Structure 1
């Protein structure tokens, strides 16, 4: 379980050896591709894996990060002019605050101007971007405009392998994340009863997660109670009274103090369950095991998705139309994606959430567990038993 050190402000820090491992990987990556700088951005704490991988802190605002070929690191984020973007020492060469929020569109050049000042001090011929879909137009356009003649390249596809393959230290942190989620799942039956509002249960689960050592961005606590499980809802929609016979659909994905996510999706029935729920639950466990066995090194994400839909349609279920799993880590979702589009190859020590959806006779379940990729298939790290828990 995650431990909270009393009177210590900044907790869950990776070791210096782990951070040096990442920086060395990034420098070698840049050397092989002739890059002078890497540039990336984080816009929230849920999909912030690139900035956090480099600089360990979870951004509170739009945050821009530059990493140069010599290992120098610059962070630009919200704060008072002339001050620091973050108060902690995390190995930054430049820690730059800009006194505007990102929806102040008149100031869309501020971050780029600071980035250009840093880049021009050392010179740059080739600039690599990580996560183009996360980089704001204002920052990108102003950066390019102020750096004429510089070659730019999107290196996300290759860099994602550095982030997706976890180190031994990261895997220890990730197992702790799974253990936290297991503990919460075991506590859920004591928080559920007929006549209770979903919102009341959700609030208790939120508080439990926080006290067990979960960190910021506890937004992925989805709940829904119905006779036949189906959709799930965030806090704003958790307004139904839990009734006798309801299946409570709970998606619980929170980050630990170390910043790592786990995925736990479970179902709890208040009283006797509907027969349809038992049928789809059994199928959900079967297909999850099938997909985990497929997740060997060399298999591609879209191949897992294709195999999932072949299994579903062969067994009389609706096909998956979104994705049936994904990587996790500092990001709630990371590559590889098990969807129709991602051709990323699985590598040993990638950390996965596998959660295929099974629908039949009005019922729908999506059992979610975490795994680590091995040469012989994915090993389940989640320990809480699968299946419908009767309360």
Structure 2
């Protein structure tokens, strides 16, 4: 991201800190699919080791990450890497070695005491390990008041800037290319994991990263849900169908997702009808997904439309935000308090899954425009593919 974009984010964080009367905002992450707060603060990916960031208004971001024990150095906030970061501290902790679990909290405690902070906002507490939170609060009990600042930062992240929207469009275009590469090379006799390996290879060549690429196959008339990598062992036969989900990030770290059904031969009427109904469900709900719309109301409308087509109501999620998180707010369902806003990047994926005879999916990403238009980002045809 450009320095201007990182500056925009830090200005928003500074305003939130002032509004919440906090001295600093702290977030933690330890994997790259659901640790989007870290990347939003510092535009750097997260490894499987823990990374802690502390934003201080007027002084940029302090990073605590894995490395040599006791490491600490000042960092040029104008540098291309770790732009906006003023200092980096390292600890030699490992999640698999429980006795090291408090090292990040000890370093953060020292930094907070040194600055004499009295009120600190925690961002994304659900990502913070119990030991980290307990030790931090015990160390600073009676000295620092901790408050939950997650909702304020979520509101910033949900609405994408023009620069972020450019990168999100690029991720969708990358996934279209990946899907086309799979269609060109997939064939009967391959295992499901051979197909996802084609997708993963094409994605890496194009600059993709992280995320999930899932596939599941079955004979037509049977159930073929998405499977995680270690379960993608079935050999695909002539006439089978495959459910393929490509949900990874582009070079900037922004997520989108595309999913379709593929038949290795001729598609039967049952699968064609189910996929057309999934497409219809997506098409029917889009006019309701406008700025200002209640997520709970949109979810209710979608379920009414499902029931009208004689399908059971959705009981998990059919649409949600994406950005630096594979799934981020808003969740378009009954328990989401926020409404839709212009600038949101939404994955919309109605799925018909009866558990025994069919798995039909239509998944694409959409941007909500200022004028209320909802724009589909993926260009992969909305159909069952026959190869």
Q: Contact (CA 8 Å) 2:182, 2:198: kept in 1 or not?
A: no
Bigger drift between 267-276 and 172-181 goes to 267-276
2 CA distance for matches of 1:70 and 1:104? 36
CA offsets 1:125-155 (integer angstroms, 9 cap, x no match) = 2211111111111111111112123222112
Any stretches of 5+ residues in structure 1 without a counterpart? 1-13
Per the alignment, residue 310 of structure 1 pairs with: 304
Q: Distance in 2 between matches of 1:344 and 1:267?
A: 32
Task: Give the structure-1-normalised TM-score.
Answer: 0.92
Q: For 1:239-254, list aligned pairs within 5 A.
A: 239-254=233-248
* 8 Å Cα contact 2:207-2:251 kept in structure 1: yes
Show the counterpart of 1:30.
Answer: 17
CA distance in 2, matches of 1:89, 1:324: 35
Aligned partner of residue 40 in structure 1, secondary structure: strand
Q: What residue is the counterpart of 1:51 in the other structure? A: 38
**What residue is the counterpart of 1:335 in the other structure?**
329
| Whole-angstrom distance in 2 between the partners of 1:330 and 1:71 | 24
Please give the alpha-carbon distance, in whole angstroms, between the structure 2 residues aligned to 1:187 and 1:293: 32
Provide the secondary structure at the position in 1 that maps to 2:253. Answer: coil
- Does residue 18 in structure 1 map to residue 5 in structure 2? yes
Alignment deviations for residues 104-127 of structure 1 (CA, whole Å, 9 cap, x no partner): 221222111111111122222221
Measure, in 2, the Cα distance between the counterparts of 1:76 and 1:115: 8
SS at match of 1:254: strand
Rounded Cα–Cα distance in structure 1 between residues aligned with 2:136 and 2:71: 22
CA distance in 1, matches of 2:358, 2:81: 49
The separation in 1 between residues aligned to 2:244 and 2:358, in whole angstroms, is 15
Q: Does 1:294 align with 2:288?
A: yes
Greater shift, 121-130 or 256-265, is seen at 121-130
Q: For residue 63 of structure 1, what is the aligned residue in structure 2?
A: 51
Aligned to 1:138: 131
Partner of 1:384: 380
1:367 CA displacement: 1.1
Paired residue for 2:213, among 209, 212, 221? 221
Q: Deviation string for 1:313-338 (max 9, x for gaps)?
A: 12201211110011111111111112
Which residue of structure 2 aligns with residue 9 of structure 1? none
Partner SS for 2:85: coil
1:387, 1:230 → 2: CA distance?
17
Count of residue correspondences: 376
Measured after TM superposition, the shift of residue 377 of structure 1 is 4.4
Q: What is the root-mean-square deviation in Å for CA atoms of aligned residues?
A: 1.8
**In structure 1, the residue corresponding to 2:208 is in which secondary structure?**
coil
Residue matched to 1:232: 226
1:141-290 counterparts in 2 under 5 A? 141-149=134-142, 150-215=144-209, 217-218=210-211, 220-226=212-218, 227-228=220-221, 229-290=223-284
Counterpart check, 1:42 vs 2:34: no
Summarize deviations over 1:61-93 as a string: whole Å, max 9, x none: 111111113243111121112436999443322
Contact conserved, 1:280 with 1:359, CA < 8 A, in 2? no
Gap change, CA 1:348 and 1:296, over 3 Å in 2: same
Secondary structure of 1:93's aligned partner? strand
Corresponding residue SS for 2:90: strand
Equivalent of residue 366 in structure 1, options 342, 361, 366: 361
- Out of 63, 70, 74, the position equivalent to 1:75 is 63
- Correspondence for 1:348: 342
Output one character per residue of 1:290-330: Cα deviation in whole Å (capped at 9) or x when no partner: 22221111123232222211111122012111100111111
Q: Which residue of 2 aligns with 1:6?
A: none
Structure 2 residue aligned with 1:109: 102
Q: Secondary structure at the match of 1:94?
A: strand
Contact 2:43–2:82, Cα closer than 8 Å, also in 1:
no
